[in-house]
A and B are shown apart, each in its own frame.
Chain A
């Protein structure tokens, strides 16, 4: 208890004011209520001290979603010139325990930015991805690292490929690949497009009904201002319209419908693809497929 400790003697705790008729009041433990009262007193003075640092740690341990405490802590850490490496180590343990927390990753970003050194970050992120390879906060943080430290060519693509070998359906990894290939204002040369087409078709082969690589290649072609017909052969391979029983991918059908809808003579094939989708291969989206049909018919009229 802070009130029994001499080094806190000079602080007059500020109790919480919840108003006369509070809704959703929480029955705090005595420990939490007391610590918060002392924290409010220190924050009122904007005190940057070892004891302030200690109390932020104590409260974060009890409630890691307390954004005010995190921001106060960052100010103290910088004001006291604390060892930022130690702060990162302390953060690691917090991050592994609380996976869905905005504050931890924002704090980490502030610290690493100040540290001006991303050594060790990739290793820690790998640990996080072992728990959840689609963690949105962690991916956002990784994208920030790539931009902040210019890591575009520093093994990122290889790492994405490693993750996709683990799980080819990890759409976050596909998304990161798109960021690496296009996110730095790079020109999408024919060579890069070829490489991506090759990579995508290898992965579609593993699981043709996996939407991620289909979305990805659609995005790449669009960004490179190339027509979808570049992948017509791949699509007809997985969705032979002349032999509908052999269809292996609804995504291939979807893209075929798009390719054929732009060619007046092949409008019927587009309609056939959409009919197959709505009757058999993706029936829950029937309303959407029908909408696409009306769009084609409108364009033709």
Chain B
């Protein structure tokens, strides 16, 4: 685990999908490659005897006025290939030492917290100042095992009612890593065919009752593989079923006879808006009120309005649900934004850099999505000109150093094993650190109106955070000229699948207008 880390050198993404798929979104200069990356490429090819040395001329490194890297000034010439590699920047103190204020009074929570810091700190500092690279190939292999293995081992029977989730987690994680997942289209359609119930919705497996979680994961998986796979869904029975689990107070039961919480609302709204279902006959009556009433005195949102504690998972569900109904700037009017901001900001701890789900609980990789994923919504609600409101560098350090399993997959924290759930939600969180989202309304993407399908979530735009271009926090690019290999694809801030697939689903649904 400690000594045989691969040396830090840029690796080529396994599948280069960046080209062509990004046309709709502003991108940074395509030809950019840093001098040290070029150097390593040259070195690699000269060491590799069966490949002829690659000719790299000085002109292949195009310095653009909007983008400079620390290494750009090195005297570089093909005849003199030695370029001293740039030294990694020092890890800031906030990520290498305990907080200044620590109470001496010990309780279980404090001991757990101290234990976590002592577990995480060595991972953050063990390579000196160098940030570990993304173990892309290993994570791809790990996620592919969830889909391509003949069968998953029998101990995974505990996920027998969550098979749509496994498919969604693995597909989404792979797509963020640049893998073309459209090759799974037929398998995805085949897998979800027996899981869809004639009475509407999808269960956790064949013969299981329809459940909002399974339905959410099924719809997102079908949308992700594209090619009108969504047409598998019976929209008419789906709508009937949604009406049957709608509560008069605005919320949804997760299944007939099941429990109620904001998870259910977020899953239902995702399905309603992606499938472009009509919302007449009170389908979303009082839903806004219910969501708003889940905000607690701490500022975060709880599972229900019934006195629970503010929690990262439910906060994402509540905010994303509101962002399906309304453009982000409207959020300010609906909820106590100052309180939410304070609570969200307090979820990030030093020195770990990771995010926690509740007050006085520990950091955990999956909150990179549940809390990290709230940030683009909130930043867009407040107007982006203020810059990033949280510490992206901290989360990148936590993800890269503490959540990567050497054997593949990502995890909660170093003492935990990697699993499909954490792998997907850590990667989504990493994607969040590398992109900036903003909202641009068009003709259709306005606030939800009674009776119509919600269209607000289709107004999101994204760009890679690019130094010198947007003035945004640009970790890790500004520190590492050659960190392109750590790049993952952008995910839609509400639906947590790739933007392109949300656009495709939007086009697919045009015929239902």
Contacts and interface: CB of A to CB of B under 8 A. Distances in A.
B297 A219 contact: yes
A167 B112 CA distance: 12
Nearest to A62: B157
Contacts of B388: 287
A26 B187 CA distance: 15
A102 B259 contact: yes
Interface stretch (B18-26, B144-152, B242-250): B144-152
Nearest to B214: A67
Contacts, number: 232
Interface string A147-185: 100000000000000000011111110011011001100
A82 interface: no
A283 interface: yes
A235 to B, nearest CB: 14
B157 A26 contact: yes
A101 B350 CA distance: 31
Contact of B297 (A209, A211, A223): A223
Contacts of A17: 194, 206
Contacts of A19: 190-191, 193-194
Interface of chain B: mostly helix, strand, loop or mixed:
loop
Contacts of B309: 136, 139, 171-172, 175
A241 interface: no
Interface in B341-389: 341-343, 345-346, 348-350, 353, 358-361, 386-389
A215 B298 contact: yes
B105 interface: yes
A24 B166 contact: yes
A207 B101 CA distance: 10
B481 interface: no
Contacts of A74: 257
Nearest to B107: A167
A176 B101 CA distance: 27
Interface string B382-420: 000011111100100000000000000000000000000
Given A17-B206, A139-B308, A140-B303, A23 B184 contact: yes
A213 B191 CA distance: 50
Given A14-B207, A222-B297, A285-B348, A71 B387 contact: no
A171 B358 contact: yes
B359 A212 contact: yes
Nearest to B157: A63
Contacts of A189: none
Contacts of A26: 151-154, 156-157, 159-160, 163
Contacts of A210: 103, 360
B79 interface: no
B296 interface: yes
A134 interface: yes
B391 A71 contact: no
B178 interface: no
Interface in A245-286: 247-250, 254, 280-286
Interface string A199-233: 00000001111111001101110110000000000
Interface size class of A (residues with CB under 8 A): 35 or more
A23 B188 contact: yes
A16 B206 contact: yes
A163 to B, nearest CB: 11
A119 interface: no
A291 interface: yes
Interface in A52-77: 62-68, 71, 74-75
B257 A22 contact: no
A140 B152 contact: no
B308 A140 contact: yes
Nearest to A32: B157
A294 interface: yes
B211 interface: yes
A106 interface: yes
B150 to A, nearest CB: 8
B167 A24 contact: yes
A146 B308 CA distance: 12
Interface centre among B101, B152, B296, B386, by most chain A C-beta atoms within 10 angstroms, is: B101
Interface centre among B100, B341, B361, by most chain A C-beta atoms within 10 angstroms, is: B100
A287 B391 contact: yes
A284 B353 contact: yes
Given A24-B170, A209-B103, A215-B297, A176 B206 contact: no
Contacts of A215: 297-298, 343, 359
Given A143-B307, A169-B109, A219-B297, A27 B153 contact: yes
A175 B166 contact: no
Contacts of A179: 306-307
Given A65-B158, A136-B303, A210-B360, A106 B389 contact: no
A186 interface: no
B204 A67 contact: yes
Contacts of A136: 303, 308-309, 311
Contacts of B358: 134, 171-172
B187 A23 contact: yes
B237 interface: no
Interface centre among B102, B205, B361, by most chain A C-beta atoms within 10 angstroms, is: B205
Given A25-B151, A167-B107, A68 B361 contact: no
A28 B158 CA distance: 11
Interface centre among B152, B160, B342, B394, by most chain A C-beta atoms within 10 angstroms, is: B160
Contacts of B187: 21-23
Nearest to B208: A68
A20 B93 CA distance: 55
Interface centre among B157, B158, B349, B391, by most chain A C-beta atoms within 10 angstroms, is: B157
A148 B171 CA distance: 42
B160 A176 contact: no
B258 interface: yes
A287 B191 contact: no
Nearest to B210: A68
A90 B386 CA distance: 56
Given A23-B167, A65-B162, A171 B188 contact: no
A18 interface: yes
A18 B207 contact: no
Interface centre among B93, B208, B360, B386, by most chain A C-beta atoms within 10 angstroms, is: B360
B161 interface: yes
Given A68-B204, A71-B255, A176 B209 contact: no
Contacts of B94: 283-284
Contacts of B93: 283
Contacts of B191: 18-19, 21-24
B288 interface: no
Contact of B157 (A29, A109, A284, A294): A29
Contacts of B8: none
B391 to A, nearest CB: 5
24 contacts: A16-B207, A23-B184, A24-B146, A24-B167, A26-B152, A27-B154, A63-B160, A65-B160, A67-B211, A71-B258, A143-B307, A147-B306, A169-B108, A171-B309, A171-B360, A175-B296, A178-B307, A209-B103, A212-B359, A212-B360, A215-B297, A247-B101, A284-B350, A287-B389
Q: Which 3 A-B pairs have the closest CB atoms?
A: A219-B297, A179-B307, A169-B109
